[in-house]
Amino acid sequence: MMREGRLQIELAQLQYLLPRLTRMWHHLSRQTGGIGTRGPGETQLEVDRRRVQERISRLERELESVRKTRAVQRQGRKRHQWPVAAVVGYTNAGKSTLLNLLTGADVVAENKLFATLDPTTRSFTLPNKQRVLLTDTVGFLRKLPHTLIESFKATLEEVSEADLLIHVVDLSHSRVDDQIEAVESVIKELNAHGKQTMIVFNKSDNLQKRELIDV
């Protein structure tokens, strides 16, 4: 995992933790019969909250620097007038596998949550000699919290700035419709729902013959 991915993970964890610190301290207070709810205990809670908030602010500044760097990179691509396609999809749908197939890259394709955290951009050439840039993105989830979207904004901005979205769908999944809806929901939150989108059905080899007929 690259530095950007680590920063995004830590930011997401701290943003999840911050509103829960008070409840954690209250739970500890009940276990200790009220000791620490005032005085030293309350002071320690304030110290913990301040430290978490300071770290969140620092991470946000570092990720803002990353976003600015990516914006400069995108401007460079535009100067070359190369169209950019962002590969999106539910987690484990096969996005990295598709990117590797089209570009000959060796992006890690793992069957686990958030295997891709740092955007990877590779180029390939169409039959008409047009060069295209293909960007892999983090996998989406159902009911993805807004705070998590904010944490991964540096990564997800690649979706907003793309000329074309390639939506990879795991056709063999039992809740494929829910996954499609989840991806479309995140795309809408990123204000990218008006972009031209190509749907690629993946893992059809995992379907039974009867299921293929239904499709």
pLDDT at position 199 is 93
The fold adopted by the segment(s) 3-214 is Rossmann fold (3.40.50)
Report the alpha-carbon angle 34-35-36, nearest 5. 110
pLDDT at position 165 is 94
Structure tokens at 182: 């989840």
pLDDT at position 140 is 76
Task: Look at phi and psi of residue 100 and say left if phi exceeds 0, alpha if psi is from -120 to 50, else beta.
Answer: alpha
Domain edges within the chain? 3-214
pLDDT at position 134 is 87
pLDDT at position 197 is 94
pTM exceeding the 0.75 threshold for the entire prediction: no
pLDDT in tens, 82-124: 888 999 988 888 888 888 888 876 655 554 444 444 567 888 8
- 123 in helix, strand or coil? strand
pLDDT at position 93 is 82
pLDDT mean for each 10 residues of the chain (215 residues): 70 81 59 47 74 89 81 69 87 83 68 50 85 82 64 73 92 89 88 90 70 50
* Other beta carbons less than 10 A from residue 77's beta carbon: 17
Backbone angles phi, psi at 63, to 5 degrees: -70, -30
pLDDT at position 177 is 92
Report the alpha-carbon angle 145-176-121, nearest 5. 65
